Structure 1
Amino acid sequence: MSEKKEFANPKNFVNRELSWLKFNDRVLEEARDKQNPLLERVRFLAISQSNLDEWFMVRVASLAQMVKVGYDGKDAAGMTPIEQLNAVSAAAGDQVKLQYQTLSRVLLPALKEYDIQLLRLADLDSRQYDYFEDYFDRELFPVLTPMADDETRPFPFLANDSINIAVRLTKPGTETDKKEKLFATLQVPDNVFKRIIPVPGTSNHFILLEDVIKEFVAKMFLGYDVKETATYRVLRDMELDVAEDDTPNLLKEVQAKLVERERGAVIRLEIESTMSKHIKTRLQDALKVDDFRTYAVSGPIDLTFMSELVKVVKDFPELSYPKFQAYQATDLAKGNIFDTIRNQDQLLHHPYDTFDSVVRFIQQAAEDEDVLAIKMTLYRVSGDSPIIKALGLAARNGKQVTALVEVKARFDEENNVHWAQELERMGVHVIYGLRGLKTHSKLTLVVRREGDEIRRYLHMGTGNYNDVTAHFYTDLGLLTSDTNMGIDAANVFNILSGYSEPEYFHKLHISPDGIREFLEEKIAQEIANSKAGRPAYIKFKANSISDAPIVQHLYAASQAGVKVDLIVRGISILQTGIPNVSENIELHSIVGRFLEHSRIYMFANDGAAEVYLSSADLMTRNLNRRVELLFPVEDPALKQRVEDIFDTQWNDNVKTRVMQDDGSYQKVDRRGSTTALDAQMSFVEAAAMQVKAQAKAAAKEAQREQFMPLNNPFDDANKPTNTQE
């Protein structure tokens, strides 16, 4: 068997979806970790639910589609779609059970110790019970719409991710043996009302909206007896399939597909474990859902509500992570930011370095009279984005402003369509990228006239231009006025907005034609160096590694003796510890307070280390079907800082899980003499020290200015005039 075939052997790979479930297990571990503040553990449980929902709506839905059309191709691990679907359905079922065990056996009892409780109406006193009955009569009754399912009225359409209540009824006076089992359903209006309702007279006792409805729902079925109520939820296939080849107007096509997507096939049915077999069967028949896609849960449906619980709990700040202030260098916070960047490249490490520097870069460009043009790619932005406002201001100030808005960004399509239309109304030139490709790169180009020359200023990053997620996603960004990078960036925008095929790029690399080839070339270089006895290593940090060809190149590097260190937060189809294949590969995963999102690619390069940052993960979609950007960090001090960031994370022994040879992940064993290192908290502490030192220096400067004499008595020019002469 050839070397290439040996590396491609399915036994050398982990199934992508099963690997993702292991990642979500690590998130769920954080909910069970008593070292985390209690309300943060509650939040981790909610995150694990949100993650699982999106995974079902996209990945499981894709597998189901492949099975439906009869596709039987195998993944890198040698599994067909139906084999994957069966395997992940069982594994997801185990994870759901663990979620609810975490809720009922761990978190709710721990919350109760602080008298934070989710109650049932049976737990209330008469006054409180009357309050909720009045709440139902006054607020809920007028809004609720029960929908019968019988011979004359078909089963109603259920919106994706909606919580519903199934009701089984009978007609009084009918003979017992002839009683018809009547059925109705109604949607819980949690889009109109808060799902968590405070209990009057208490600080932190709550009732769920659906429990109030179920208690008094009989008032909606006068003349009938309610025999059973049960909560359920459906998740639909939410993958957006836009046929761009036949689409003259991409914006309108995306809008149409958004409406169509809401009616996708049901991919998952969640039901209360107490639901009767009769109602369960009726729902499965009506929704066309098999048993293996039906999940019975022992607790409230849809645990994402726990993140709302965190927000409404009062008087327990110690149960959450302490707040911290991100650092901003004085030169980036004040004065002319272009002078600062021109003097030296600036590296930003979010959220420890504030995202305000990026916002200020764009805001100052919008107002600077010497700025001629701003060009920017936007993948995900916040609902009230200061960057969008700055682009609009720049257009009003007469600058040439171009924004590429990726309207196909998953689950942000509607938001991005809105902002695309708003930007056009503001006078911004909006483009939608290349046909068939998502534009995922994070790039801003500012063109400025300085005397007789034109200078280009860039911001390039690993994360989105989103001022909200920048508070809890870890990302890296570079501000530079490097001439060659500026020329490359201009060519990138020419490719995106028009017809341009530059022969080469000076320093930047883009996918789909560039990043894969560049990484493979660098890996090959490390292999050659190792075989020649020269210094060789590969250090990658990414969110996911699921591209089989890249994995095979890393296996080749390992076999050649190259030490390969990988920090991968999520999916990894790569397997460590395989004899003669991956013995020199070690893989760490960090799951903690912040979502690790930065992408770092480093090579020993025979002792002259090279450091690159990128928007791209090591996934086939990023390397083949997206416009991504990879860029170098060249300033020696900034290169060292990136290396230090990687090394700090590599040496983390608190939030790191290390992939074992059997594919499992285990935390670092600190028993003995090992000092605890939580990389994220160490960065928080370093930022706090910088903020403190900055404040101290500012106070000292203010004091110096306060006591500075207005005039120098020994200066002849300021000597008082002698009026007697």
Structure 2
Amino acid sequence: MNNEEKDLKNVEVANETEKNTRFGRKNKQKAEGEKTQEEKTVKKVNHIGLYENRELSWLKFNERVLEEAEDTSVPLCERMTFLSIFQSNLDEFFMVRVGSLEDQKLLSQKLRENKTNMTVGEQIEAILKRVAELNERKDAIYASIMKEVGEKGVHLTDFKALAKSESKYLEEYFMKEIVPLLSVMIVGRKQPFPFLKGQEIYALAVLGTRNGKKKIGIIPCSSSVFPRLIRIPTKDDTYMLVEELILHFLPKVYKGYKVLEKSVIRVTRNADIDFNAVYDEDLDYRDKMAQIVKLRKKLAPVRLELSRDINEDMIKQVCEYAEMEEPHVFLNQAPLDLSFLFQIEDILRKDANLVYQRRVPQPSPMLKSNEHIIPQILDHDVLLSYPYESIKPFLQMLQEAARDPEVISIRMTLYRLARNSKVVEALTEAAENGKQVDVLVELKARFDEANNIEWSRTLEDAGCHVVYGIDDLKVHSKLCLITRKVGDEIQYITQVGTGNYNEKTSRLYTDLSLITADKRIGEEAAKVFQAILLGSVVEDMEHLLVAPKCLQNKVLAMIENEIQIAKEGKPAYIGIKINSLTDKKIIDKLIDASRAGVKIDMVIRGINCLRSGIPGDTDNIHIVSIVGRFLEHSRIYIFGTHDRDKVYIASADFMTRNTLRRVEVAAPLYDETVKNKVRKMFATMLRDNVKAREQQPDGSYQKLSMVGPVLNSQEYFYEEAYMEAGDAFHQLLRKQDMDTEKKQTV
């Protein structure tokens, strides 16, 4: 059987599996009766080379993060941050994505994903292989960074580099300060293998007994009681990791045993919970969510990391105890938890050359900082661009609304919030002032469930009306609606954003926030909230794009419109900035658009399941990924050439989970000043030749060559924000001088 026949056979198996496992598959096949199975199969095989696997594409994104840690033009402390981010990203990837694949594997070995046709097992195998390669690169980068850290006067040491007196000091410190706090375990008939907490560090010892048998000893090393970094008092800025200290002195703890082998170990556990599957309608939803958060800590392990190699039989035994497969075991040269790097950064930050230039979000040039916000919004639309511009005007607007006698209600969707949220403060004040405050708090926001549960209680205690979401859907939209009654007139002030209402991440993530008094948008936002409060979704909108019923279909229609224009021989264009692209319907429509001659520019930070630049198929598609100082998070949709374009900002990526399984909102930009600002931002990002990587036809990413002026788009936007804020400040001073002069003249 040749390769083409094998591909055809695999697709036939995939089609049969889909038919048996997906609702409505038979009806769909009937509707497509005019197409033979053979025609559809051949088309699917021809498309395979145009797609990227979702999980492997994400690993390519994390590799781009790792490249920032490797890039010597990035300040040393920031490279350490990128290395820590790479690790925390990978942790979450195993917890969520690999965990999800393992769950799918239990259901069926034959399940195939709908782009590259890989089975679940093939995906897991490819992931584990690629992660092993990335780990080797990470270890080398860590070693290089720590060498530079040593040259700056901060050292992470081991016992080989210490004098006898220093080793003696550490032994005394260990016996006095550490041993009393240790929980020492030996696995045996009377002491079963302990539960290993996810992301925590343990010292593992292979112990030899007097009768020649082997036992396993385990000691937890993660503790808030003793420090992670142990300072060596005889040497300036010299430290040892506490797990290495514990590992070295294991013989002092396991007296009567011979320590044959030892290693630091770390387990990553599945965190992917099907909330709907465990939901019990007879229980309070919030209380049930609190139980689910606790349940997550006890799910099956999906990865085991070792700091030292130990014999294969012992690894097999540990895997059996932990109920995990051996291919999920990884050996690392770098420490298993890199969070201590932030402590070293704090020591080094006194040297300004080792960190990024300090940047502070600036006032928006679209607003007068010495005047109330609401009257200005009633006068003209405003677009805030984070982190370059401050979130303070939005917070000020909420505070004004809480005290404004003409405001009758505030409605808002909350997904992730800062620890000390000013947003919650404003909403509680509004409720206490007698306003109707309706708040959707999404309790299913992954890893923020516990935080959101507490905020929901705070809001309820203040008198807010709190709802927790819609059955089977997450509410991911960033939508705020302030309703005012001025005489007999109803006024709406609507805010639609691309990012969360989180003051902390507004300084770290690039996001856009539209604030408008446009009645067309306000009336449709009111319909969205009305549906949410009734536990349903809107069916159609004229201005807003609202998932799950009227976002994907409208995006597809706008792409189709560009296709028809291109077929007429006229210029056609699509510009998209998103975090991820996985929605196959949209991907296939973009491929059709490229074939029709539509020029397509895409800025996709993370997952991208479409390969660009393939002759005859996607050669009209140009895709770049920007990974830099700030996390690219804004979403922009542009359909049409400059003279006729429709421009949106949105909360939704082009992922099936966003377009069909969440409530998401995209808002059109009608104000020409706002529209021009977004057009310019998008065009600038396409010209980035410092932090942008361009996707190649084989799916790899390459940094752009430095052709023309050097342009780091993120730094450019900050410089622009500083200049515009400076101009606004000088204009304010000039206005104050003129006012003073007029008074003196009078």
Same fold (TM over 0.5): yes
* Equivalent in the alignment of 2:71: 33
1:280 to 300, 315, 318: 315
Hey, what does 1:721 align to over in structure 2? none
Deviation by residue 1:73-125 (Cα, 9 ceiling, x = unmatched): 22111111111111111111111111111111x21222222122211144345
Match of 1:470 in 2: 506
1:96 to 135, 152, 162: 135
- 8 Å Cα contact 2:591-2:617 kept in structure 1: yes
Q: Tell whether 2:268 aligns with 1:231.
A: no
Alpha-carbon distance in 2 for matches of 1:5, 1:488: 44
Q: Report Cα offsets for 1:643-664 as digits up to 9, x if no partner.
A: 0000000011111111111111
- Which of the numbers 184, 189, 209 marks the counterpart of 1:146? 184
1:316 aligns with 2:351: yes
Aligned to 1:289: 324
Q: What residue number does 1:167 align with?
A: 205
Matches within 5 A, 1:256-405: 256-329=291-364, 331=367, 333-405=369-441
Question: What is residue 714 of structure 2 aligned with on the other side?
Answer: 680
Mapped contact 2:470–2:535 kept (Cα < 8 A)? no
- Structure 2 residue aligned with 1:544, among 570, 580, 597? 580
Corresponding residue number in structure 2 for 1:6 = 43
Q: Bigger CA drift: 298-307 or 243-252?
A: 243-252
The superposition leaves residues 392-414 of structure 1 with CA deviations (integer Å, 9 ceiling, x where unpaired) of 11111111111111110111111
The letter for the 2-side match of 1:273 is R
| Separation of aligned partners in 1, 2:149 and 2:723 | 33
Superposed displacement of residue 385, structure 1? 1.0
Cα distance in structure 1, aligned partners of 2:522 and 2:443: 26
For the 8 Å contact 2:539–2:550, the answer to whether it is kept is no
CA contact (8 A) 2:398 2:426 kept: yes
Q: How does 1:422-437 map to 2 (within 5 A)?
A: 422-437=458-473
> Which digits, 9 at most, give the CA deviation of each residue in 1:571-624, with x for residues without a partner?
111011223221111111111111100110001168311101110000010011
Distance 2:41 2:436 in 1: 50
Equivalent residue number for residue 118 of structure 1: 156
Q: 1:3 to 1:265 in 2, by over 3 A?
A: closer
CA distance in 2 between partners of 1:499 and 1:230 (Å): 52
Letter in 2 for 1:187: P
Q: Secondary structure at the match of 1:333?
A: coil
Give the whole-Å Cα distance in 2 for the aligned partners of 1:340 and 1:422.
31
* Equivalent residues of 1:10, 1:78 under 8 A apart: yes
**Contact 1:525 1:605 survives alignment (8 Å):** no
Cα 1:130–1:700 shift into 2, 3 Å: farther
Q: What is the distance in 2 between the residues matched to 1:314 and 1:352? A: 23
Code of the aligned partner of 2:424: I
Unpaired runs of 5+ residues, structure 2, are 1-37
Task: Verify the 8 A CA contact 2:440 2:466 in the aligned structure 1.
Answer: yes
Aligned partner of 2:13 in structure 1 is none
In structure 2, C-alpha distance between the alignment counterparts of 1:503 and 1:282, rounded to whole Å: 55
Deviations 1:477-496 (A, max 9, x none): 10001101111111111111
Partners in 2 of 1:159 and 1:339 — Cα distance? 53
1:200 aligns with 2:233: yes
Q: Whole-Å Cα distance in 1 between the matches of residues 529 and 261 of structure 2? A: 60
Counterpart amino acid of 1:471? Answer: R
Q: Which one of the candidate residues 598, 606, 616 is aligned to 2:652?
A: 616
For 2:678, the equivalent position in structure 1 comes to 642
Q: Secondary structure in 2 aligned to 1:95? A: helix
Asked if the contact 2:538/2:549 (under 8 Å) is kept, the reply is no
In structure 1, runs of 5+ residues without a counterpart are 716-725
Report whether the alignment pairs 1:448 with 2:484: yes
Q: 2:676, 2:526 → 1: CA distance?
A: 28
Q: 2:474 aligns with which of 427, 434, 438?
A: 438
Contact 1:547–1:618 (8 Å) recurs in 2: yes
Aligned to 2:15: none
Identity across matched positions, percent: 36
Cα distance in structure 2, aligned partners of 1:305 and 1:96:
18
Taking the TM superposition and a 5 Å limit, the aligned residue runs for 1:706-725 are none
Change (3 A) 1:368 1:130: farther
Partner of residue 719, structure 1: none
Matched residues in 1 for 2:313 and 2:223: separation?
Answer: 26
- Residue in 2 aligned with 1:460? 496
Cα distance in 1, alignment partners of residues 163 and 500 from structure 2: 50
Q: Deviations over 1:650-692 (max 9, x none)?
A: 011111111111111111122xx52211101101111222233
Q: What aligned pairs does 1:457-606 form with structure 2 within 5 A after superposition?
A: 457-498=493-534, 504-604=540-640
Indicate the RMSD between aligned Cα atoms, in angstroms.
2.3
Q: What does residue 42 of structure 1 align with?
A: 80
Deviates more, 1:270-279 or 1:618-627: 270-279
Change (3 A) 1:407 1:308: farther
Please tell me the residue identity of whatever aligns with 1:682: Y
Structure 1 CA distance for aligned equivalents of residues 725 and 552 of structure 2: 40
Per the TM alignment, residue 699 of structure 1 is displaced from its structure 2 partner at its CA by 5.1
Q: How many Å separate the matches in 1 of 2:430 and 2:176?
A: 50
Q: Give the Cα–Cα distance (whole angstroms) in 1 for the partners of residues 179 and 369 of structure 2.
A: 53
Match of 1:81 in 2: 120
How far off is 1:4 after superposition?
10
Q: Which moved more, 1:360-369 or 1:94-103?
A: 360-369
- The answer as to whether partners of 2:263 and 2:307 remain within 8 angstroms in 1 is yes
**Is residue 17 of structure 1 aligned with residue 55 of structure 2?**
yes
* Alpha-carbon contact 1:241-1:257 (below 8 Å) kept: no
Aligned with residue 690 of structure 1, among 709, 724, 728: 724
**Structure 1 letter corresponding to 2:148:** A
Say if 2:364 and 2:384, in contact at 8 Å, map to a contact too: no
Which one is further off, 132-141 or 452-461? 132-141
Structure-1 separation of matches of 2:539 and 2:263: 64
